[in-house]
Amino acid sequence: MKRAVCPGSFDPITYGHLDVIERASGLFDEVIVAVLVNRTKASLFNVAERIEMITEVTAKYKNVKVDSWSGLLVDFCSEHKVSAIVKGLRAVSDFDYELQMAQMNLQLKEVDTLFMATTPAYSFLSSSLVKEIATYGGDVSALIPPKVLTLVKARLLENGEHGRN
Residues acting as catalytic residues: 17, 41, 90, 127
**Residue 118 engages ligand PNS in binding (rule: CB under 6 A):** no
CB of 95 to ligand PNS, least distance (A): 13
**Residue 36 engages ligand PNS in binding (rule: CB under 6 A):** yes
11: part of which helix (H) or strand (E)?
A: none
**Residue 73 engages ligand PNS in binding (rule: CB under 6 A):** yes
Return phi, psi of residue 87, to 5°.
-125, 140
Report how far apart the first and last C-alpha atoms of the chain are (Å, whole number). Answer: 43
CB of 108 to ligand PNS, least distance (A): 7
- Among 57, 9, 61, smallest CA distance to 35 is for 9
Rule CB under 6 A: choose which of 37, 101, 106, 116 binds ligand PNS: 101
Q: Would you say 68 or 165 has its CB closer to ligand PNS? A: 68
DSSP symbol at 1:
-
Query: Cα Rg for the chain, rounded, in angstroms?
Result: 16
